[in-house]
Chains A and B, each alone.
Chain A
Amino acid sequence: MAEALEKILKEKSKSEPEAFPNSSKGYYKRYASFSDYLNNEVHPFVNQAAMVLDIEKGLGFLTDHGPGHIQTVMRRAWDLLGHSSNVLSGYEVYMLLTAIHIHDAGHIRTGRKGHEKASRPLLNAQLGADSVENAFIYSIAEAHGGEVVPGDRDKLARLVPRPFASKKFNMPFLAALLRFADELADDYTRAARYVMGEGGIPHPSEVFHAYAFALKSVDVNLEAKEVQLSFYLSPDDATREFGKLESKVYLLDEILDRTFKMYHECLYCMRYFPAELQINAISVQIEFMGDSEVHQPINYRLKESGYPKLHAQHPSELCGKDLMIDGRVIDGITLKERIEKKIQEHV
């Protein structure tokens, strides 16, 4: 079944051909063919290929990265767009959908590490089209994770709105939309439920499946400007430790960590979202299953409130570049010394 965004692409390729480079002819067709190919030949095998590549690290038992995950990312992006077809041009929808399709496909070549950088051959081979256009799609997809260079994770800042064949598209927003939609695309459908029940998940991957399994609902509420997450935990799951890479962790701690990371991602991606689509809170509801009430629900809302809290303790930590003069951050005493020296030179 075609996702809402895919339907919009189909409609817009007919209704606004001028929004596409060199007319819309071929864009939807090309997308449909590309999508079919990936849904049949690539996405179903991402988990298997990654498992083989990462088997030595014990990291290969990923949560679902198949066609279902791609659909979920598309739905979350649609949710984040407020179910409006007016935010993106037809051409931007095309760029977004193709980028969503390839964003995780690199697992097949590299396994988990560096997967975001490994999808370009697939794009060139299967989408055809112009290498430049493909490179833009690649950049949108590639920005969903990883680092620019070691120690620098600020990928979105490297993207700028670009034209292709005189058709402009908002690359930073599209990349931020994909990145945040992917962040929200974890839920119980991604967990290997039966294997979990059988205790078959390898130790390093246990908690990732447990987290996904517990996450029953992800809702984007644009009116409240928040994302609402609902977790349901069984008493068993709430009281045992799950394997996480080489260590162990309680599920609640994992939920706290992951939702906090989600909030960070939210703040980061929202820098590139238009005002009417801003999300500024992650609302979390954790309930416990059982015949009798085993524990009261735990609800929290991640949102900036009160007096702002920053990691930085001084303006120079936020904008040192602007305050640096002759290799030193300017302060009162430095300014005094500089002025006095200048005056002396003129005497």
Chain B
Amino acid sequence: MSEKSTTVDPTVNPFAVQTPEDISAQEAFDLFVDVFTDFNQVRLPGHTFLHGPRGSGKSMMFRFMLPDCQMLNLKQPLPQHNYFSVYIPVKKTGLNLIDLGRIDQHAKYLLNEHLLVSYISGKVFSFLVELSKKHSIFNEHKGAIARYIKKFFNRVISSGYTGPMPVVTEGADAPEMFAIMADICDGLYLDVLQYVRKLIFISNSFPPYSGSICGYLDFLYPLLCELRALEFMPKAPIFLLIDDADNLNISQTTILNTWVSYRTTADVSLKISTQLNYVNFKTISGIPIESPHDYNEVNTETIYTSSKDKYKERVSAIVKKRLENAGINKTAEEFFPVDKVQEAKIKEFADRIISGEIVTPNGRDTDKAYRYAASEYIKSLRGMSKSGMTYRYAGFKSIVNISSGVIRHFLELASRMYSEKLADAKATDYTVIEPSIQNRVVRNYSEEIILNDFNKKIEEINQEEEGVELNLTKNAKLRNLIYSMGGAFQAVLLSDGSQRRIFSIALSDTPDKEVNEILKLGVRYGFFQEATIGNKEGTGRTKRYVLNRRLAPAFSLLPTSFAGYLFITNKDLKTAIANPKYFVSQFKKKKSWIDSPEPVKKPQQGNLFSTDDE
């Protein structure tokens, strides 16, 4: 793309990460790149679970689905929309109150359902307050809303609510009427909240609860059906966009699952996002909900890690849109260029492999030459590192790979790079991020993950367990495992083996409880991604754990196209968890393994530290 003079305001960072909840419809519309071809089920009627790590764009998708954005998107009035969405954020400190544990022995499902129902109802009406302030269609149908509020009052009375019921004045406009309903929902919510607080001061008994009780089927669902039936609403389902549902407690997820089990999707569809920690799929009656019978399931991680091209295309579109909004007419590749000098040197190595000057396990195969060229180049830098020569992480593709399928990781890196550029007093051209800046930011970012974020967690726990030096915490064990894996993968990359692109381990036997817990913790923290592959015997499946590519720079690994994996026994994993230095040194001694590692889909036998290899 040709460069032209732009109206760039360099002080505005095009990659600033904004919370989707806090941005206007216009901003969301300007920033959003249509990803619904990847996640089509999310915008269709039907209950859907949308799983994905933090920052993978779930909330942004929800923001775009809200009616104000859809008005900009479809350029159609509300009744013509395909759905009416309401955003329901679930914060850690919102519904999942610590004191709720007290009601576990006292109608936990009824009272938790009441909390959920009154909270969601409150959000629905608060949302309508704001929407009706900005769009005249609501005030054009004040009469219908006034009739609706009477039905609402009836349901509130039926729930046993005894709080004040405001009088709706004749001239009340739509926002006022919705505000009245939102206030009453807050009152309903408070009924149980106050009861729970009262319990704190009482032990061994439960005083009678005399407040309201609202259930999904007798309160929220009929209210939403009646709302949907109003003439100015879309002739389509209402979508409740429940964001970060893994912040709900077990009783609440059980209740939410029970709602999913109801066939209400033509009227109300539940769109539930999780950060991969939603572990309970049972209903109140103990029967699990199942996909696709009760709901559809979409996993952003699976979609974007299984199809890297798709992810790269999405990120490229996001970058282009953000650059355009900032007045920069460049493609992602132009804005984040590769290091041309480094690329030329790697090509030189490839040429030398093809010419036979450098001997690799696959001879002079042209295609495979490039696979070894980067490895040979990095090896050549080893002796020169004292003079400052290291591999440079630069280029759009490289940053995309390091961001590991999570859009926010990419934006965070891009945002930091842009800030670094701004901090450079000599900089004049803000339409490109030089490879040196890209490399510096990427390396710092990767090291930060291990040294700062991770160590903080370990220190916190160590402080709590002071004096228990020998008893390594789970976090410390996980850190050891990451260092062991990083060290081993680096050894493979710098070896003369045929398969040097290793970034994952596969289990060759069943892990014991401790190892399993550490692996799970790694998945939970996002350091590993879990997948399955055929086992060594070809008789079934076994688990594979891929190291997060954000850690690649910290171990000087190549973040692109990791193809092989390392079969590892439980015994070896225990060594890796206990002592990374010993593990890596033992690993390096196992020459036969390094010389013939496992390409994907062709597993082979062999333990890591079997004595005959030494």
Query: Are A132 and B110 within 8 A (Cβ)?
Result: yes
Point out the residue from A118, A160, A163 that lies within 8 Å of B286, measured CB to CB. Answer: A160
Among A128-166, those with CB < 8 Å from B are 129-132, 134-136, 142, 148-149, 151-152, 157-160, 162-166
Given the interface pairs A121-B160, A158-B285, A345-B601, the reply to whether A149 lies near B263 with Cβ below 8 Å is yes
A321 at the interface (CB under 8 A from B): yes
Q: Mark B284-303, 1 if CB is under 8 A from A, else 0.
A: 11100010111000000000
Q: How far is the CA of A22 from the CA of B206 in the complex (A)?
A: 9
Number of interface residues of A (CB under 8 A): 33
B212 at the interface (CB under 8 A from A): yes
Q: Which residue on chain A has the smallest CB distance to residue B293? A: A321
Query: Are A320 and B601 within 8 A (Cβ)?
Result: no
A12 at the interface (CB under 8 A from B): no
Query: Are B106 and A165 within 8 A (Cβ)?
Result: yes
Q: Which residues of A have CB within 8 Å of B110?
A: 132, 135-136
Q: Which residues of B have CB within 8 Å of A22?
A: 205
B210 at the interface (CB under 8 A from A): yes
Q: Which residue on chain A has the smallest CB distance to residue B210? A: A131
User: In the assembled complex, how far is the CB of residue A132 from the closest CB belonging to chain B, in whole angstroms?
Assistant: 4
Q: How far is the CA of A120 from the CA of B160 in the complex (A)?
A: 7
A346 at the interface (CB under 8 A from B): yes
Q: Which residues of A have CB within 8 Å of B570?
A: none
Q: Which residue on chain B has the smallest CB distance to residue A125? A: B160
Given the interface pairs A121-B157, A132-B106, the reply to whether A149 lies near B264 with Cβ below 8 Å is yes
B423 at the interface (CB under 8 A from A): no
Q: How far is the CA of A132 from the CA of B213 in the complex (A)?
A: 7
Given the interface pairs A132-B106, A346-B601, the reply to whether A149 lies near B262 with Cβ below 8 Å is yes
Q: Mark B173-216, 1 if CB is under 8 A from A, else 0.
A: 00000000000000000000000000000000110111111010
Q: Which residues of A have CB within 8 Å of B292?
A: 324, 327
Q: Which residue on chain B has the smallest CB distance to residue A130? A: B208
Query: Are A129 and B538 within 8 A (Cβ)?
Result: no
Q: Which residues of B have CB within 8 Å of A117?
A: 158, 218
Q: Which residue on chain B has the smallest CB distance to residue A320? A: B293
User: In the assembled complex, how far is the CB of residue A300 from the closest CB belonging to chain B, in whole angstroms?
Assistant: 35
A221 at the interface (CB under 8 A from B): no
Q: How far is the CA of A149 from the CA of B47 in the complex (A)?
A: 15
B11 at the interface (CB under 8 A from A): no
A124 at the interface (CB under 8 A from B): yes
Query: Are B290 and A130 within 8 A (Cβ)?
Result: no
B159 at the interface (CB under 8 A from A): yes
B454 at the interface (CB under 8 A from A): no
Q: Mark B81-110, 1 if CB is under 8 A from A, else 0.
A: 000000000000000000000000111011
Q: Which residues of A have CB within 8 Å of B158?
A: 117-118, 120-121
User: In the assembled complex, how far is the CB of residue A163 from the closest CB belonging to chain B, in whole angstroms?
Assistant: 7
Q: How far is the CA of A117 from the CA of B211 in the complex (A)?
A: 18
Q: How far is the CA of A121 from the CA of B218 in the complex (A)?
A: 13
Q: Which residues of B have CB within 8 Å of A320?
A: 293
Given the interface pairs A118-B158, A131-B160, the reply to whether A165 lies near B210 with Cβ below 8 Å is no
Q: Which residues of A have CB within 8 Å of B211?
A: 131
Q: How far is the CA of A132 from the CA of B601 in the complex (A)?
A: 57
Among B120-166, those with CB < 8 Å from A are 157-160
User: In the assembled complex, how far is the CB of residue B85 from the closest CB belonging to chain A, in whole angstroms?
Assistant: 20
Q: Which residues of A have CB within 8 Å of B109?
A: 162
B32 at the interface (CB under 8 A from A): no
Query: Are A148 and B262 within 8 A (Cβ)?
Result: yes
Query: Are B293 and A132 within 8 A (Cβ)?
Result: no
B608 at the interface (CB under 8 A from A): no
Point out the residue from A130, A158, A327 that lies within 8 Å of B209, measured CB to CB. Answer: A130
Given the interface pairs A135-B110, A152-B263, A166-B105, the reply to whether A129 lies near B208 with Cβ below 8 Å is yes
User: In the assembled complex, how far is the CB of residue A53 from the closest CB belonging to chain B, in whole angstroms?
Assistant: 14
Point out the residue from A121, A132, A346 that lies within 8 Å of B111, measured CB to CB. Answer: A132
Q: Which residue on chain B has the smallest CB distance to residue A159? A: B285
Q: How far is the CA of A117 from the CA of B159 in the complex (A)?
A: 11
Q: How far is the CA of A160 from the CA of B111 in the complex (A)?
A: 16
Query: Are B263 and A160 within 8 A (Cβ)?
Result: no
Among A88-136, those with CB < 8 Å from B are 117-118, 120-121, 124, 129-132, 134-136
Q: How far is the CA of A158 from the CA of B287 in the complex (A)?
A: 10
Q: Which residues of B have CB within 8 Å of A121?
A: 157-158, 160
User: In the assembled complex, how far is the CB of residue B202 from the closest CB belonging to chain A, in whole angstroms?
Assistant: 13
Q: How far is the CA of A158 from the CA of B216 in the complex (A)?
A: 13
Q: Mark B510-546, 1 if CB is under 8 A from A, else 0.
A: 0000000000000000000000001000100000000
B23 at the interface (CB under 8 A from A): no
Q: Which residue on chain A has the smallest CB distance to residue B213? A: A135
B449 at the interface (CB under 8 A from A): no
Q: How far is the CA of A132 from the CA of B160 in the complex (A)?
A: 11
Q: Mark A157-188, 1 if CB is under 8 A from B, else 0.
A: 11110111110000000000000000000000
User: In the assembled complex, how far is the CB of residue A255 from the closest CB belonging to chain B, in whole angstroms?
Assistant: 33
Q: How far is the CA of A164 from the CA of B109 in the complex (A)?
A: 11
Give 13 pairs: A residue, B residue, CB < 8 Å, sorted on A: A120-B159, A121-B158, A130-B209, A131-B160, A132-B209, A148-B262, A149-B262, A151-B263, A162-B109, A163-B105, A164-B106, A165-B206, A346-B534
New contact pairs (13) apart from A121-B160, A346-B534, CB-CB < 8 Å:
A118-B158, A120-B158, A120-B218, A131-B160, A131-B210, A132-B107, A149-B221, A149-B263, A320-B293, A321-B294, A324-B293, A345-B601, A346-B601
Interface positions of B (Cβ within 8 A of A): 105-107, 109-111, 157-160, 205-206, 208-213, 215, 217-218, 221, 258, 262-264, 267, 284-286, 290, 292-294, 534, 538, 601
**What are the 5 tightest A-B residue pairs by CB atom distance, in nearest-first order?**
A130-B208, A321-B293, A132-B107, A124-B160, A135-B213
Interface positions of A (Cβ within 8 A of B): 22, 117-118, 120-121, 124, 129-132, 134-136, 142, 148-149, 151-152, 157-160, 162-166, 320-321, 324, 327, 345-346
